[in-house]
Amino acid sequence: MAFLADALSRVKPSATIAVSQKARELKAKGRDVIGLGAGEPDFDTPDNIKQAAIEAIHRGETKYTPVSGIPELREAISKKFKRENNLDYTAAQTIVGTGGKQILFNAFMATMNPGDEVVIPAPYWVSYPEMVSICGGTPVFVEATQANKFKLTAEDLDKAITPKTKWFIFNSPSNPSGAAYSHDELKALTDVLLKHPHVWILTDDMYEHLTYGDFKFATPVEVEPKLYERTLTMNGVSKAYAMTGWRIGYAAGPLALIKAMDMIQGQQTSGACSIAQWAAVEALNGTQDFIPENKKIFEGRRDLVVSMLNQATGIECPSPEGAFYVYPSCKGLIGKTAPTGKVIETDEDFVSELLESEGVAVVQGSAFGLGPNFRISYATSEALLEEACKRIQRFCAACK
């Protein structure tokens, strides 16, 4: 009898975490490494949010909380959905988890049976298929090609749905591509989903507030209210509020699903950190003035990176609508020989040789299900981004 669970054989380690860890290890050894793998804003958590946490500590808000979250936060989440997304959810229809990952995991754990399929557009966030596999489901990947700006077409979604489809995962703006769907693009997808009443929709809106130019964010059930009874809308405070380490994610959906997720969480972690929850109350209810300021900085970084990468030999970098990632193609480098003498046969080879030669850590597109590409997080200073892009240009020019 094997000691470790069979499910682990279906799961791969997180490539994004692995890249960040490798960059840290090389830095510890004295290498000059620029890490562009982590999906984490470099901004500090705003002072009003930190102050709310400090005040919560002084009030003695340091005990266990209800499994689904403190009433004040669940009410703030309800108001946020109404204010920003035109969605009516009661506080009882919301749930708070230890980051968005727990929300997603609990939803799958509460609903997945062996053989259930989950449609996942590729490129995808690395954790989606692994969570599905751990929970006994089957990931079904559908390519959202670079030619279509990394956006899934209604026709391809329709083809991917079978009688076994339990969920469709939707992420806009996207990690890793930064692609964001307009209202009309969403409507085309929701029209397909209306034809398949057995399919549930899990929408990951974590990058909602990080869109650029004139782009206007919308979420699927806002576009098509008829999907309300089979949609779980997930969000969190990590990205827009620079609160990654506070570990607060949340969602709203049909009451029966929320209760099932509450039961799972009650036997798993119970409530999220009390102090972090009070900080999240202030994040959602307090001033939002810093969000447009941060967006402007991110947009400038995006434009810098896109411009410089498109000047690199063999690289093609689309300009995304949102998030803080670019997903350039390195197809023009495949088959060339790196400065070490190794032939670049895959995007993983490209990433490995770039790190070895120039000390720039990025993540291979194959980890996100679509290559030959690589992901760069531009959630770091312009000075570092400019230096990293110069190194990438130098590396590409040296490949023969």
User: What pLDDT, in 10s, does the model give residues 165-175?
Assistant: 999 999 999 99
pLDDT band per the 50, 70, 90 thresholds, residue 308: very high
Gap between the Cα atoms of 380 and 347, Å rounded: 23
pLDDT band per the 50, 70, 90 thresholds, residue 373: very high
> Which amino acid, residue 18?
A
Average pLDDT over residues 67-93: 98
> Which amino acid, residue 228?
Y
Average pLDDT over residues 6-19: 78
**In this predicted structure, what is the pLDDT of residue 62?**
98
The string of pLDDT tens digits covering residues 116-160 is 999 999 999 999 999 999 999 999 999 999 999 999 999 999 999
The string of pLDDT tens digits covering residues 268-292 is 999 999 999 999 999 999 999 999 9
Specify the pTM: 0.95
Q: Please identify which residue in the block is written with the tokens 């949340």.
A: 250
Average pLDDT over residues 83-90: 98
Predicted confidence (pLDDT) at residue 313 exceeds the cutoff of 90: yes
End-to-end CA distance of the chain: 52
Gap between the Cα atoms of 300 and 389, Å rounded: 15
Gap between the Cα atoms of 265 and 99, Å rounded: 12
**In this predicted structure, what is the pLDDT of residue 30?**
86
pLDDT band per the 50, 70, 90 thresholds, residue 28: confident
The SS3 of residue 119 is strand
> Which amino acid, residue 178?
G
**In this predicted structure, what is the pLDDT of residue 33?**
93
Retrieve residue 359's tokens: 């000390």
Retrieve residue 329's tokens: 């193609």
Query: What are the residues whose beta carbons fall under 8 Å from the beta carbon of 29, sequence distance 6 or more?
Result: none
**In this predicted structure, what is the pLDDT of residue 1?**
80
The DSSP output letter for 147 is: G
Q: In whole numbers, what is the pLDDT of the chain averaged over residues?
A: 96
Q: Please identify which residue in the block is written with the tokens 């969480």.
A: 265
**In this predicted structure, what is the pLDDT of residue 16?**
72
The string of pLDDT tens digits covering residues 325-358 is 999 999 999 999 999 999 999 999 999 999 999 9
pLDDT band per the 50, 70, 90 thresholds, residue 17: confident
**In this predicted structure, what is the pLDDT of residue 208?**
98
Predicted confidence (pLDDT) at residue 39 exceeds the cutoff of 90: no
Average pLDDT over residues 17-23: 77
Average pLDDT over residues 188-215: 98
For residue 173, whether the previous peptide bond is cis, meaning omega lies within 30 degrees of 0, is yes
Extended strands (E) in the chain: 34-35, 94-97, 117-122, 138-143, 165-171, 200-204, 231-236, 249-252, 325-326, 360-361, 363-364, 374-377
**In this predicted structure, what is the pLDDT of residue 14?**
78
**In this predicted structure, what is the pLDDT of residue 168?**
98
**In this predicted structure, what is the pLDDT of residue 13?**
78
Average pLDDT over residues 164-188: 98
The SS3 of residue 156 is helix
pLDDT band per the 50, 70, 90 thresholds, residue 22: confident
**In this predicted structure, what is the pLDDT of residue 371?**
95
pLDDT band per the 50, 70, 90 thresholds, residue 363: very high
Query: What are the residues whose beta carbons fall under 8 Å from the beta carbon of 55, sequence distance 6 or more?
Result: 278
**In this predicted structure, what is the pLDDT of residue 85?**
98
Predicted confidence (pLDDT) at residue 18 exceeds the cutoff of 80: no
Q: What percentage of the chain reaches a pLDDT higher than 70?
A: 100
Crossing angle of helices 15-28 and 347-358, in 10° steps, is 20
List the beta bridge partners of residue 203.
Answer: 170, 233
